[in-house]
Amino acid sequence: MIAELGPSCNTEETFNRLVSAYQPKILRMCAMYLRDDAAAEDAVQETFLKAYRALPRFRGECSEKTWLMRIAVNTCRDMTRSAWFRHTDRRVTPEDLTLAAESAASDEKEALAQAILLLPRKYKDALLLY
């Protein structure tokens, strides 16, 4: 945990460790949330930028993964509220997303992913964060 390292921790080393450990999970969650590979990659980049800026203020009251996922969900929400995002065609099926297809190794997992995408936002957020 970052808080355990104390003030002597190197922010850049910690950040590199966070990126290598959590980037695939955050990318998968953003792809499911936004239903767009390019937007998901942008959201992940923005998530890690926000995390880097806030790293010295991270108190360790939750796990690093929870902290990063919360930042990612908020970033995805911000993106969906933007005028650009609302005026683009979002009629994409989960099969069209290469990231979602890679994470769905079986038909059962793919059916579950599709069902999660159809849930109301508050339930979808809870499941994606889990």
The proportion of the chain whose per-residue pLDDT surpasses 70, expressed as a percent, equals 72
Averaged over 99-113, what is the pLDDT?
61
pLDDT in tens, 4-63: 444 445 788 889 999 999 999 999 999 988 888 888 999 999 999 999 999 988 888 889
pTM of the prediction? Answer: 0.62
- Amino acid identity of 83? A
Tokens of 123: 């339930």
* Closest listed residue to residue 23, CA positions, set 53, 45, 56: 45
Rounded to whole angstroms, how far apart are CA atoms 128 and 101?
Answer: 16
Better-predicted residue by pLDDT, 92 or 35? 35
What does the domain layout of the chain look like in residue ranges?
2-129
Query: CATH code for 2-129?
Result: 1.10.1740.10
Measured between alpha carbons, how far is residue 98 from residues 45, 51, 55, 58 in Å?
18, 26, 31, 33
Measured between alpha carbons, how far is residue 80 from residues 30, 48, 121 in Å?
11, 18, 12
